[in-house]
Amino acid sequence: MIETLEKLSLEESLNFLANNHPNKVVFSTSLGQEDQVITDAIFKNNINIKVFTLDTGRLFQETYELIDRTRSRYKKNIEIYFPNTEKVQQLTTNKGLNSFYESVENRKECCFIRKIEPLKRALAGAEVWITGLRAEQSENRHDMKIWEWDEGNNVWKFNPLIHWTYEDVLKYISANKVPDNPLHRKGFISIGCQPCTRAIGPEEHPRAGRWWWEESKKECGLHA
């Protein structure tokens, strides 16, 4: 499968999987530039792949606006999954609104409630999960393959941009006039929840702005 997918273009590979796993292919978008590339390929080619996003309740306003701009541009729906209300209430009541600053464990707990649990609901019944991961984004992603089994979610994971460079992404966005987040022009390369993301300097790693107060692998657990 890996050899087959690596020979295909982005559009061809998405169509290939949609045809071989009818109604069982889903794409999770965080509205980042990589994800907007894949969304563009799916929507403008009317490929039968469900596109969804996770609203943690703490996203940037610019991200919410981009969701609406994307829906308007392509006249397609993006399904939105929210965290379990009771779990969020318990977390914020017992530990406060910003407990994630206190320890890596607390931050991972918040990520689990706001992102990982909703993701598992979104992936229920799917056979293929498409992501916008790129190898150069982090050490954790460096050795990921274009096609791999995700044991934790019991699904095949397809990473069509895994070999793309950031320059490849920017070229695609420019050539296809893909809408993206204006925060990218303000130093926000990787954008997550507002309190957990900051702009980075020109010499900093692309993931340095995520959970900037801690020393960690800069992952929330979605792509362990």
List, in order of start, the domains of the chain with CATH numbers.
Answer: 2-184 (3.40.50.620)
101 token code pair: 């600053």
Q: Give every CB contact of residue 91 below 8 A, 6+ residues apart in sequence.
A: 99, 109, 110, 113
Using one digit for the tens of pLDDT, what is the confidence trace for 41-71?
999 999 999 999 999 999 999 999 999 999 9
Q: What positions carry a catalytic annotation?
A: 220
- The band of 18, judged by pLDDT with boundaries at 50, 70 and 90, is very high
The predicted pLDDT at position 135 comes to 87
The predicted pLDDT at position 137 comes to 74
Using one digit for the tens of pLDDT, what is the confidence trace for 174-214?
999 999 999 999 999 899 999 999 999 988 888 889 998 98
Q: Helix H segments across 21-163?
A: 33-44, 61-74, 85-95, 104-111, 117-123, 139-142
Whether the predicted model's global pTM rises above the 0.85 cut: yes
The predicted pLDDT at position 136 comes to 84
73 token code pair: 């541009």
Euclidean distance between CA atoms 216 and 76, whole angstroms: 37
